[in-house]
Each structure stands twice: as C-alpha cells, then as structure tokens.
A and B are shown apart, each in its own frame.
Chain A
Amino acid sequence: MADKIHLKMTVNGQPVETLAEPRELLIHVLRERLDITGPHIGCETTHCGACTVDLDGKSVKSCTVFAAQADGAEITTVEGIGSPDKLHVLQEMFREHHGLQCGFCTPGMITRAWRLLQENPTPSEEEIRFGMAGNLCRCTGYQNIVKAIMAAATEMNAAKEAAE
C-alpha cells in the first residue's frame, strides 16, 4: 500500500487540507474525507455526470480524477453555488420549471450548467443540449432541464443589464 499524501486544495472558497492515498478518487475524498456530499456517486464510470464538480474552471467528473491530481486546485461544488437560504438563480429556475424529479442528478446538472453559462451566457437550446450532454437524468426527459437553464440565462442576463 502506497503512503498517504498530503493534499491542499480550495473547495468552495475555503482552503482545505487532507491526507489521502494516491488511488483515492476526487469524489471519494470530497464525500468521505471532506464531508462534501453535494456531488453524488451515480455510475462511477464517467457516464452519468452526477459527480460533476468545477475544477480550475472546468467541469469534470470527479469519479475519473484522482484527488492527487487536484492537489492545489480550486474546486466548486453545488454547495458553493447556492445555499438553502439563498438559492442560485439556476436552482430557482430548476425548481420553477420542474427541472428535477428525484433530484439525484441535480447537483451535477447545476454545477455543469453554472460553468456552461459562464462560457456562453446566451446559449441556444441546441447549445444547451450539446453542453449538457455529459449529464444524464432518468426522470425528466431533459425538456424541463433545458427550459430551466434557458430561463436562468435570461434572468442572469437581465440582472447583469440592470446592474450596469
């Protein structure tokens, strides 16, 4: 067994340190060592996207990244995007447009959509479907997820204009 290594990263704006074996996947370190349980373990085979986190400005599937590879990284999970008291507009729109049923895929959906809207603040429906293709939902049929993201983009752009 390899020795544990000392990892430092910034998770949701907070500096964190932990020890982990090199073979530990980022999703396991987040959930089991750092108690950040927003990212979910769905398929654990890089297909479903439930474990999506934002790593240095990239949406990644944290079941397919070793925590050691994230040493020094800035990570944002759904916990860093909104809170129960102050939902992010994406979360508000998922609620308003019924963009979820069981909710298992939702943290990954929100985290991915959050990055997508930063890269493309005015996406077409086709661009949303292309940009969300790494996140699977077995409940909704995706229609309402796409609607929710389009609505969030509109809201965010209106808020940005109002602020200028």
Chain B
Amino acid sequence: MIPAAFEYHRPSELSAVIALLSEHGDEARVVAGGHSLIPMMKLRMAALDHLIDLRDIAELRGIEVGATIRIGAMTTQHELLTHAGLAEAAPILAEAARQIADPQVRYLGTLGGNVANGDPGNDMPGLMQCLDARFTLTGPDGTREVAARDFYEAAYMTAREDDEILVAITFPRPGAGHAYEKQKRKIGDYATAAAAVQLEAADSKVSAASIAMTNLSDVPVWSAAAGAALVGSACGTPAVEAAVAAMLADIDPVEDSRGPVEFKKHVAATVLRRAIARAWSRV
C-alpha cells in the first residue's frame, strides 16, 4: 500500500509551518506521529500534496509540571507513560496512554495528534474534557486557546482552522481520585466504550466530579449531569446509578462492528461504574 505522491517538508521553525499551511491551504497537512494520517494516506482516503513533518520543531515538545501542567503537542504516548513527574501529578494520563494501541504505536503516536485529529475513537479528547484542558492553537493571526469541552464539533471537525496547528495542551493539576476505564475487543482497537473520571472529596463525600466518555458519540461526551449526580454522595449505589443514568442520557452511540446500540450502552454503564469505584478508592 503506497500513498499518492506528495512533497515532503520538514521545517525547524513553527513560523515556517504556519507559512506553508497559509501557502498551500487544504492541500497541506501536518504530520506528528503519523499513526492516524499515514494509514489514511496508504488507503488513499487522505489526499494531500504537501506533508509538513513537525518532528524538528522544538517548541512543540516538553512536559512542564506545576500547579498547571503543560504538555507539548508532539509529546508521545510513550513519553506520557514514562515521565516520572507526570506519573505523580496526573496519573490518569499514563493510565489512559497504556490502553492506547501497542508499544510501537505509542513510541511515535502523540498526544497532540490524538486530540487534534478529531477521531471519536481516540481516547485523549474525552480525557482532556474530563481534565478541563485548554488547547493552544497557533496560526497566521497569532495564538489562541480553546477549551477541550468546546473544541469538538463533529467527527474530524474541530474548532481548529486549517491554517492553525495545536501547539500545547494545558490543564490544572488534578486531584488523586482518578480512573480511565476502557473496554476494547483486542490490543490496538479503539474503545467500545471508555470512561474518564476525576473525583475530589471533602468530609468523606464527593466535593467535585468530572466525567467524560469516549467513542459513544461523534464527539467526546463530557457529562456535567453525571458528575453532578455524584457530588455530595459517598459514591453509594443510588448516586452511582444516577450518574450512569445521566451519562446514558448524554451519549449517542451508533451500531457498528463493535456492537449494537444497546450493547454499547451496557458497556458504557459498566466502564463508568468501574471507573467511579476505582477513582473513589484513590481519593
């Protein structure tokens, strides 16, 4: 499987990337790890005349851990798995990253590619909504931020303009009560359903809860109502089932090779119950 011909660019400055995107418009695409784009090019489902490789752009790399966590868009899933500071500050990232694809794909696949591509099957968009992350976008008119919860419009359609690129992802340092629970058919598969949960506690009760679901709609689903159903409870069965019911009202799965709608709702409920229980055990 050989893609159609294209011209390869490997600039070393972000400004050069923006200039190429401005010049070539929708005939150009940037490539980060390439593990979404290259397979689509091989299938000739993605057509482009100019491929802009981001690998030499230093400012797209790096992980900074403080009260705010900043992760460069070109940070790989493997780096998320092996970064000691991140493991302590936001362990949900590694818990999710280790359930993505396989080792070879994680060495190259990036956080930025995963969130910017807009594929409903990707895990990081839902997780970033759970963490209330902000995406930093740079284009010809400068830099702006978009909340992860406002970024996704439809499958592969996002708030990013064609001449912008995702530079970094930032989010406030989360609390200890976390879980990323994913059900998939096999290694390397997308989720049948996955749940990202962050809980905070005060006086043995949930004081704040954030819940987001993956691959159960054409966009990630942050369910404010599901989180609200847990607040004030001790994560007993009535509160958890209220959260599950609220989540089920917010998702919109479709039948595909991973199963019919009823099955997906069943799996969504199951992964959310498990994620809430595990997050609560870690608060």
Shortest CB-to-CB span from B98 to chain A, Å, is 8
Which A residues are CB-close (under 8 A) to B104? 46, 49, 52, 59-61, 112, 134
In the assembled complex, B55 has its CB within 8 A of some CB on chain A: yes
Which segment of A22-30, A75-83, A150-158 sits at the interface? A22-30
Shortest CB-to-CB span from A40 to chain B, Å, is 14
Bound CA span A131–B187, Å: 11
In the assembled complex, A68 has its CB within 8 A of some CB on chain B: yes
Q: Is the CB of B2 within 8 A of A60?
A: no
B3: nearest residue on chain A (CB-CB)?
A: A23
In the assembled complex, A118 has its CB within 8 A of some CB on chain B: no
Which B residues are CB-close (under 8 A) to A60? 104, 107-108
Q: A60-B104, A69-B55 are in contact. Are A1 and B35 (CB under 8 A)?
A: no
In the assembled complex, B140 has its CB within 8 A of some CB on chain A: no
The total of chain B residues at the interface (CB under 8 A) is 30
Q: Is the CB of B6 within 8 A of A64?
A: no
Bound CA span A61–B105, Å: 8
In the assembled complex, A74 has its CB within 8 A of some CB on chain B: no
Q: Is the CB of B102 within 8 A of A45?
A: no
In the assembled complex, A98 has its CB within 8 A of some CB on chain B: no
Which A residues are CB-close (under 8 A) to B7? 2, 22
Q: Is the CB of B1 within 8 A of A65?
A: no
Q: Is the CB of A21 within 8 A of B103?
A: no
Q: Is the CB of A134 within 8 A of B34?
A: no
Bound CA span A49–B103, Å: 10
In the assembled complex, A58 has its CB within 8 A of some CB on chain B: yes
Q: Is the CB of A58 within 8 A of B78?
A: yes
In the assembled complex, A133 has its CB within 8 A of some CB on chain B: yes
In the assembled complex, A47 has its CB within 8 A of some CB on chain B: yes
Bound CA span A134–B188, Å: 8
Q: A45-B1, A66-B8 are in contact. Are A133 and B34 (CB under 8 A)?
A: no
In the assembled complex, A87 has its CB within 8 A of some CB on chain B: no
Q: Is the CB of A64 within 8 A of B188?
A: no
Shortest CB-to-CB span from A107 to chain B, Å, is 14
Q: Is the CB of B34 within 8 A of A64?
A: yes
In the assembled complex, A34 has its CB within 8 A of some CB on chain B: no
Shortest CB-to-CB span from A160 to chain B, Å, is 22
Shortest CB-to-CB span from B275 to chain A, Å, is 21
Which A residues are CB-close (under 8 A) to B108? 58, 60, 64-65
Which B residues are CB-close (under 8 A) to A61? 104-105
In the assembled complex, B51 has its CB within 8 A of some CB on chain A: yes
User: What 7 A-B pairs have minimum CB-CB distances, sorted nearest first?
Assistant: A134-B102, A22-B8, A58-B107, A134-B104, A133-B187, A68-B8, A2-B5
Interface residues of A (CB under 8 A from B): 1-2, 5, 21-25, 28, 44-47, 49, 52, 58-61, 64-66, 68-69, 71, 112, 116, 130-134
Q: List 29 A-B contacts (CB under 8 A).
A: A22-B5, A22-B6, A22-B8, A22-B51, A23-B2, A23-B5, A28-B2, A45-B39, A46-B105, A47-B188, A58-B78, A59-B103, A64-B38, A65-B34, A65-B108, A66-B8, A66-B38, A66-B51, A68-B8, A69-B34, A69-B53, A71-B10, A112-B103, A112-B104, A130-B103, A133-B187, A133-B188, A134-B102, A134-B188
